[in-house]
Amino acid sequence: MHSVARPLASTASLVALLAAIPLIFVGYNSSQLTLAKWVALWQNRIPELLANTLSLSVLVAIGCLILGISSAWLVARRDFKGRRVVSWLLILPLAIPTYVFAHIYTIMTADDGWLGQIWLVFFDSSLDIFNIWGTALVLTLAGFSYVFLLVRIALMDANRSLEEAARIQGASSLAVFWHVSLPLIRPAIAAAMAVVVLHTLSDFGAVSMLRFQTFTLSIYLQMSGRLDYEAAAGLSLILVALSLTFMILERFFRRRARYFSTAQSRHHTARKASKGELVIIWSWLGLICLFAFLLPLLWMLQWTWQAITNGAIDARFWGYTFNSLTVGALAATLAMVIALPVGLFHTRIKSRLSSACLYFSSVGFVLPGPVVALGIISFAVFALPALYGGLTLLVLALVIRFLPLAVQSQEAAMQQLTPSIEQAGRVLGAGPLENLKRVILPMIRGGMASAWVLVFIDSIKELPATLLLRPVGFDTLPVRIWIEASEEMLELAAPAALIIVIATIPAIWLMARTGVNNNGNQDEAASRGF
């Protein structure tokens, strides 16, 4: 066993070091800020950014809780026709990147848009979503599915006999939910909140399309509007600290509230919905599905059709698609491979070093796209100028940003590897490498496959780092959506968005399936969300 320990430890440490590059360089850059500049930042920018970022996070969290818990409860506790279809429709919004969501909503709510026209029938002034409410709405529609997914699983797992006991004692439906169900699903809610808030903190797409100044947007603007990398680094550091604080708080609160259900309480059929309940279910869930998925989908289909009939889908367009797939495949493969030693090290030899490696390789969780890009650019300028140009920097940024996904799915798969299996291999005469090849890899291939798929999907959707780091003339689908959207060329943005959505659906399927199979493992399901 110990013959593999040392090489494993050093490779895992190397990977952790690689993942830490952006953070190190952002830290270095911000250390170049003079005290006077820090003071100026604190006085002029930070209070507003902090207020904006935090209030947006709170609004999105509340919105996601309302939509997510209500829909999860209806789907988990009532049986009705079309329940399966609705469950899918409630997850599918995750396939739409936030910049696409925001772009579609700005067009639909304009005075001549589908929603804007309806609005003007009832109100005098135009529908304005370029503010915190609009931004929160878009991010809520784009993110409530995380709450839905996790809370639904928790509700299905929760011991129903407790609820039934409360009902027999004469408690009303609402009282049962409030005093029995809610405490049981609290850990799931906390996990989902963590996902939603971290997404909001790192979101670039919606806030940039809707011009709502948060830390992430401001960092990007510092880098692209003025050449002020030091101020950008200073803001990045605060954002990272904010995300970390939040993650630690969430872990702390969740640890204190764990409920265990007894294993035999699995098989329950949801109660058939009554006529009155059906009306509520159909109107409420229908409304959510309509705004979170069906309308945007319809919009994309309409403009894609327009693009096809106008002949706008040409070789150039397929070139962008090909570029996206190339970047995604490269990042996914690399992340999958380098996540292996980290996961293996931690499962095999649990030590302080292995945990440290695990944590550091997960640093991408708290690094929004512009921050990763900033760190990578500074790294290349100072340390490795030869890397400049070409795909290297972009792929490196994507790998670091999404490495946590790869590490976590593989680590989860490795949990089932008991040392005895490997020892059996050794006894039968297999060396460490052969053991890896013939015993370990075949057993964790499911985890590796899902690592690949998850990194691939997130890489082809990624916008800000790709904008800043793509090689010359190398446009991907998100980059084109960004450019076309800023030029108001709708019929070109729509097909690109549609392709991204279609390509993302397999990952959603995987996520939903794993969520259902690994009942109760909320940590894992939550991390899948990234």
- The minimum distance between CB 473 and other proteins, in angstroms, equals 4
Tell me the backbone φ, ψ of residue 247, rounded to 5 degrees.
Answer: -60, -45
Q: Can you tell me which of 38, 130, 253, 282 binds other proteins, judged by CB under 8 A?
A: 130
How would DSSP label each residue in 458-520?
HHHH--HHHHHHPPTT---HHHHHHHHHHTT-HHHHHHHHHHHHHHHHHHHHHHHHHHHHSTT
Stretch that binds other proteins, among 14-22, 35-43, 121-129, 520-528 (CB under 8 A): 121-129
Picking from 454, 446, 449, 445, the residue whose alpha carbon sits closest to that of residue 503 is 454
- The minimum distance between CB 313 and other proteins, in angstroms, equals 16
Stretch that binds other proteins, among 151-159, 237-245, 255-263, 464-472 (CB under 8 A): 464-472
Q: How far apart are the first and last CA of the chain?
A: 34
Kindly state the tokens that stand for 256: 């204190």
Q: Can you tell me which of 76, 151, 468, 498 binds other proteins, judged by CB under 8 A?
A: 468
Neighbouring C-beta atoms of residue 41, cutoff 10 Å: 18
Question: Which position has the token pair 């490269």?
Answer: 330
Q: Is 399 in the site for other proteins (CB under 8 A)?
A: no
Q: CB-wise, 302 or 326, nearer to other proteins?
A: 326
Q: Is 106 in the site for other proteins (CB under 8 A)?
A: yes
* Residues in 5-44 at the binding interface with other proteins, rule: CB under 8 A: 44
Q: Is 326 in the site for other proteins (CB under 8 A)?
A: yes
Residues in the chain, overall count: 530
Q: Is 314 in the site for other proteins (CB under 8 A)?
A: no
- The minimum distance between CB 367 and other proteins, in angstroms, equals 20
* Residues in 358-377 at the binding interface with other proteins, rule: CB under 8 A: 377
Residue 46 exposure: Cα atoms within 13 Å on the Cβ side:
17
Q: Is 330 in the site for other proteins (CB under 8 A)?
A: yes
CB 25 within 8 Å of CB 378: yes
- The minimum distance between CB 386 and other proteins, in angstroms, equals 9
- The minimum distance between CB 493 and other proteins, in angstroms, equals 13
How would DSSP label each residue in 368-407?
-HHHHHHHHHHHHHHT-GGGSSSSHHHHHHHHHHHHHHHH
Neighbouring C-beta atoms of residue 415, cutoff 10 Å: 13
Angle CA(64)–CA(248)–CA(214) in degrees, nearest 5?
Answer: 55
CB 374 within 8 Å of CB 223: yes
Q: Which residues, at least 6 apart from 38, have a Cβ–Cβ distance to it below 8 Å?
A: 234
- The minimum distance between CB 214 and other proteins, in angstroms, equals 15
Q: Can you tell me which of 381, 383, 428, 502 binds other proteins, judged by CB under 8 A?
A: 381
- The minimum distance between CB 324 and other proteins, in angstroms, equals 12
- The minimum distance between CB 502 and other proteins, in angstroms, equals 19
Q: How far apart are CA 326 and CA 476, in angstroms?
A: 9
Q: Is 518 in the site for other proteins (CB under 8 A)?
A: no
Kindly state the tokens that stand for 110: 């304009």
Q: How far apart are CA 143 and CA 202, in angstroms?
A: 13
Q: CB-wise, 281 or 497, nearer to other proteins?
A: 497
Q: CB-wise, 130 or 509, nearer to other proteins?
A: 130
Q: CB-wise, 266 or 437, nearer to other proteins?
A: 437
Q: Is 325 in the site for other proteins (CB under 8 A)?
A: yes
- Sketch the per residue contact string, 469 through 508, with other proteins: x for CB under 8 A, - otherwise: --xxx-x-------x---xxx-------------------
Q: CB-wise, 126 or 172, nearer to other proteins?
A: 126
Kindly state the tokens that stand for 358: 């695990």
Q: List contacts with other proteins (CB under 8 A).
A: 44, 106, 110-112, 125-126, 128, 130, 211, 221, 223-227, 325-326, 329-330, 333, 377, 381, 385, 388-390, 437-438, 441-442, 445, 448-449, 467-468, 471-473, 475, 483, 487-489
